[in-house]
Amino acid sequence: MTETEFVQWLEDCSGEDTAAVGGKSANLGELASLDVPVLPGFTTTASAYDYYVEETGIEATIADELEGLDVEDVADLQKQGERIRRTISEATMPEELASAIVDRYDALASRLEIDDPEVAVRSSATAEDLPDASFAGQQETFLNVAGETELLESIKHCFASLFTDRAIAYRENKGFDHFQVKLAVAVQKMGRADLASSGVLFTLDPDTGFDDVVTIEAAYGFGEPIVQGVVDPDRYVVFKPTTGIVEKELGGKSQRMVRRNGGTKLESVPEDKREAFALDDDRIRELATYATRIEEHFETPQDIEWLVDGDLEELFVVQTRPETVHGATESNVIRTYSLDETGEQLLEGVAIGNAISSGTVRVLSDHREMDQVEEGDVLVTEMTDPDWVPVMKRASAIVTDRGGKTSHAAIVSRELGIPAIVRTGDATDALSDGTDVTVDCSTDTGRVYEGDLEYEVDEEVVDDLPETDTDVRLILGDPGRAFALADLPVDGIGLAREEFIVTSHVGYHPLALLERGEEERFVDALRTGVAKIGAAFYPDEVIFRLSDFKTDEYRNLEGGRRYEPEEDNPMLGWRGASRYYDEAFQEAFRLECEALRQVREDVGLDNVIVMVPFCRTVEEGRRVLDLMAEYGLSGDGMDVYVMAELPSNIVLADRFAELFDGFSIGSNDLTQLTLGVDRNSEKLAPLFDETDESVKRSIESVIETAHDHDRPVGICGDAPSTISGYTEFLLEAEIDSISVSPDVAIETLLEVAELE
């Protein structure tokens, strides 16, 4: 055989060569034809693997070991797999094949102008990266390989890794013929990520399938610890249409894999580097740009590994493959999980999978204990790697001490369709073996509860829904749900609340953070929360309501008692617009404006518009708008709405319409203040009636006046979804939009369509 039948330059390969050089090498060759930086190198071919197996005479031995193998028998799988791997790696490399590899290695050295260059030797299976199956991580990679002898030995070990226990079991379960899957080996210049950083990314949100973002995880050093879940990486989310950074989450990054004495080792990361992001904003955007380009080229979502070479100070894409979970699923079914009962919370962490499951806890310290796990158990361990796959398939949920959203446990749990909670810190200590628990991953924060709790699964099919003249929008407070709800066929967000973001993701009174010099903490959390909602529903409008905490609610935040007065009736007290221009709160309002300015200008989400709540007078509204402009939150392209929830908003709607660009009716407060009924009073509950004629006339009046001034009006109270006939009343009054909670969005849309 000729040398070119055994080895090829990566740039000579293309996506059509998967059968010849495997998925990894074919994709790298394809990338080389794009304007995407790829480390130089070559690849062996599937023919080289076949030649090795045939010339060494080991095929019959492998077949004998596989005969009658039961992959569910863990002990048998481990014993037979070890024999096969030893047979392959201990065979003598045929001279003709060895010569072809060495000649190409020498040619690479000449290109790089380096004697015996260090290279990465990476397995590339011919069935590795198919749209409906992922063999990723099942074969070996060898780093810092230098010299002809070490290179040849590493390639033989890559050949042997085609028969790891996990690979054998995966092929058996997927129905692949063991001898139809070949192995090529990519040999590339060793990227010096140990002097910089590396990581993985998805060209979508890996939990929900929302495909308008790039999700990046990054840490210092080589990337294997991220995939293995050893290190907690930084996480960045970039909005594709604008390349704006939606979210930056600082990871622990306590360890990094570096080169030492010709090999690699884990070492501690200095404290100051742990507290810094592994990538700056320019590098994050650069990486997202390459990722989007790659996805557009392959026309399917991608799972990409990358590194920054510390010597060259350049970014390189190491490999790309199809994302195998959401790329192969139907997008017209939305499943919403919710607990029907509560229990004692045992711990929490990062949620993977947007689902809920129950089972019996099995705490394992090593994958070799996997025979202890029964079907439906909750697997609890420090972290997982590809050796755990056979047992992970049996679990109903997975909980780990360590790892991020692209760790092995996270990736596999998504593919298996089971919820997982990673980065809990102490699951192996906090959860007791043999106890029943419920794992709730229905929000960003995963929680483990004691006992087998009842939960519901609602399915919404979003195909073939009618168009409506009246917009149907969502009320949403939790940004963690935004990406999961993005496929709902609604017309944006009619009310996004700031309060949930502050209480759940900040916890501190903004003035307390200002006094501590931590104002960025508030701004970052608010910007991230609003940006996630804005990105999820782009380009539809997202109406974000400025803070409407009452004094008693602000007092409950950390440090709040120092800044908040005690009021007899906080519902009618220092809230909404009256706070923003008050000298006692004005600096906190500046933080809100800065967060929103960043969302619109830095992230590029000009679909986010602002709404002022509880604005008692026109003059008060003018003062708030002037202050917003002073703080950089203004411009011809930004609308500002006002809540219509006070009788003064109704009576002077014509004056408010001259000042604001639209109205949103808050039917709860409007009813309370029109009827003089405290909506929290049990004694007066029978009198709290949103169908009272005085309330309905107020709604009709503000709609008519607003329309006379070409101003839209929406409603964001509970009435349309809880009161029979209320939607019909609103449509007859010619309301422009109706906003409801996500659980009744489809029902409301159908009702509006029928009434229209």
Domain that holds residue 304: 194-326
684 shares its domain with 711: yes
Please say which residue of 326, 356, 387 terminates a domain. 326
pLDDT of residue 233: 95
Helix (H) or strand (E) holding 53: helix 46-56
314 shares its domain with 337: no
| Number of H-type helices and E-type strands within the chain | 29, 32
Cis previous bond, 570, omega within 30: no
- Would you place residue 131 in the very low, low, confident or very high pLDDT band (cuts 50, 70, 90)? very low
CA 391, chain centre distance (Å): 25
DSSP H helices, 139-270, are: 148-160, 165-174, 224-228
585-615 pLDDT tens trace: 999 999 999 999 999 999 999 999 999 999 9
DSSP state of 221: B
For 624-670, give the DSSP string. HHHHHHHTT---TT--EEEEE-SHHHHHTHHHHHHH-SEEEE-HHHH
- Asked if 286 and 304 sit in the same domain, the reply is yes
Q: pLDDT grade, residue 141 (50/70/90)?
A: confident
Instruction: Please determine, for residue 512, whether its predicted confidence score (pLDDT) is greater than 90.
Output: yes
CA angle 174, 203, 505 (to 5 degrees): 110
Q: Which two tokens stand for residue 30?
A: 């394809």
Q: Three-state DSSP class for 372?
A: helix
**Conformation bin of residue 346: beta by default, left when phi > 0, alpha when psi is -120 to 50:** alpha
Query: 217 and 195 in contact (C-beta within 8 Å)?
Result: no
Q: Residue 477: pLDDT above 90?
A: no
Cα–Cα nearest to 672, from 739, 578, 575: 575
Instruction: Please compute the mean of the pLDDT values over residues 527-555 and round it to a whole number.
Output: 96
Domain boundary among 410, 438, 458: 458
The predicted pLDDT at position 331 comes to: 45
The one-letter amino acid code at 750 reads L
Of 135-144, 529-538, 584-593, 687-696, minimum mean pLDDT range = 135-144
DSSP 8-state symbol, 15:
G
Contact 201, 62 (CB under 8 A): no
408 is catalytic: yes
Helix (H) or strand (E) holding 709: none
More confident residue, 232 or 409: 232
Residues 539 and 681 in one domain: yes
- For residue 326, the model assigns a pLDDT of 65
* Residue 717's pLDDT band (cuts 50, 70, 90): confident
User: What local confidence, expressed as pLDDT, does residue 371 receive?
Assistant: 85
Q: Binning pLDDT at 50, 70 and 90, where does residue 577 land?
A: very high
By percentage, how much of the chain surpasses pLDDT 70?
Answer: 95
662 within 8 A of 473, measured Cβ to Cβ? no
Q: Which residue has the higher pLDDT, 531 or 386?
A: 531
CA dihedral 440, 446, 447, 452 (to 10 degrees): 20
The CB density around residue 196, as the number of other CB atoms within 10 Å, is 21
Q: Of residues 35 and 585, which shows the higher confidence score?
A: 585
Q: Cβ atoms within 10 A of the Cβ of 147, count?
A: 14
Q: What is the pLDDT of residues 633-672, one digit of tens each?
A: 987 779 999 999 999 999 999 999 999 999 999 998 999 9
How high is the pLDDT of residue 666? 93
Please report, for the domain that includes residue 595, its CATH number: 3.20.20.60
CATH code of 432's domain: 3.50.30.10
DSSP state letter for 444: S
Q: How far apart are CA 719 and CA 183, in angstroms?
A: 62
| Whole-number pLDDT of residue 207 | 87
Backbone angles phi, psi at 157, to 5 degrees: -70, -30
The tens digit of pLDDT for each residue in 372-397 reads 999 999 999 998 876 677 788 889 99
Q: Is 718 a residue whose pLDDT tops 90?
A: no
The residues that bridge with 457 in the sheet, in sequence order, are 337
For the ranges 23-32, 172-181, 365-374, 736-745, the lowest mean pLDDT is seen at 172-181
Q: Are residues 531 and 448 in the same domain?
A: no
Angle at which helices 95-112 and 148-160 cross, to 10°:
120
Q: Which amino acid is at 392?
A: M
Looking at residue 2, what is its pLDDT? 61
Radius of gyration, CA atoms only, the chain: 30
pLDDT for 144 equals: 82
pLDDT interval class at 62 (50, 70, 90): confident
Residue range 416-450, pLDDT digits in tens: 778 999 989 999 999 999 999 999 998 889 999 99
Confidence (pLDDT) at 328? 46
pLDDT of residue 164: 87
Pair of tokens at residue 249: 């989450």
Residue 519: partners with Cβ closer than 8 Å, 6 or more residues away: 510, 513, 591
Sheet containing 234-239: order of strands:
244-249, 234-239, 213-220, 197-202, 302-309, 314-322
H or E segment at 406? Answer: none
Quick check: 129 pLDDT over 80?
A: no
Q: Which of 326, 408, 505, 509 is catalytic?
A: 408
Assess whether 470 and 439 both reside in one domain: no
Q: Are residues 454 and 472 in the same domain?
A: no
Angle at 289 between CA 285 and CA 290, to 5 degrees: 120
In this structure, the answer to whether residues 161 and 212 fall within a common structural domain is: no
CB 418 within 8 A of CB 356: no
Do 73 and 183 have their domain in common? yes
Helices 46-56 and 18-32, packing angle to 10 deg: 150
Q: Which carries the bigger pLDDT value, residue 614 or residue 331?
A: 614
Q: Is the pLDDT of residue 579 over 70?
A: yes
> Is the confidence at residue 327, as pLDDT, over 60?
no
Look over the chain and give the mean of its residue pLDDT values, rounded to a whole number: 90
456: left (phi over 0), alpha (psi -120 to 50) or beta: beta
Question: What global pTM score does this model have?
Answer: 0.78
Residue 75 Cα distances to 82, 162, 367, 475, angstroms: 11, 19, 12, 54
Q: Which of 222-226, 239-243, 258-262 has the lowest mean pLDDT?
A: 258-262
pLDDT of residue 462: 65
For the residues 167-177, what does the mean pLDDT come to? 80
C-alpha–C-alpha distance, residues 482 and 111, integer Å: 49
Core vs surface per residue 566-587: b (16+ CB within 10 A) or e = eeeebbebbbbbbbbeeeebee
Q: How far apart are CA 112 and CA 309, in angstroms?
A: 15
Which of 190, 223, 244 is at the close of a domain? 190
What is the C-alpha to C-alpha distance for residues 385 and 373, in angstroms, rounded to an integer? Answer: 16
Taking residues 3-10, what's their average pLDDT? 88
Q: What is the pLDDT of residue 77?
A: 83
At residue 107, the pLDDT reads 96
Please measure the distance between the N-terminal and C-terminal CA atoms of the chain and give it in whole angstroms: 74
Looking at 13, 593, 615, 716, which residue is catalytic? Answer: 716
The CATH number of residue 27's host domain is 3.30.1490.20
- Are residues 601 and 662 part of one domain? yes
Do 184 and 28 form a contact (C-beta atoms < 8 A)? no
- The rounded Cα 383 to chain-centroid distance in angstroms is 19
Contact 186, 24 (CB under 8 A): yes
CATH number at residue 247: 3.30.470.20
Q: Is 709 in the active site?
A: no
Does 136 have pLDDT greater than 50?
no
Q: Do 496 and 359 share a structural domain?
A: no
Total structural domains in the chain?
4
Least confident of 300-314, 424-438, 449-463: 449-463
330 pLDDT higher than 80 = no
* 566-586: average pLDDT: 95
Is 163 within 8 Å of 59 (Cβ atoms)? no
Judgement on whether residues 377 and 449 belong to the same structural domain of the protein: yes
How much is the pLDDT for 386?
A: 62
Across residues 315-333, what is the average pLDDT? 71
Q: Is residue 132 predicted with pLDDT exceeding 50?
A: no
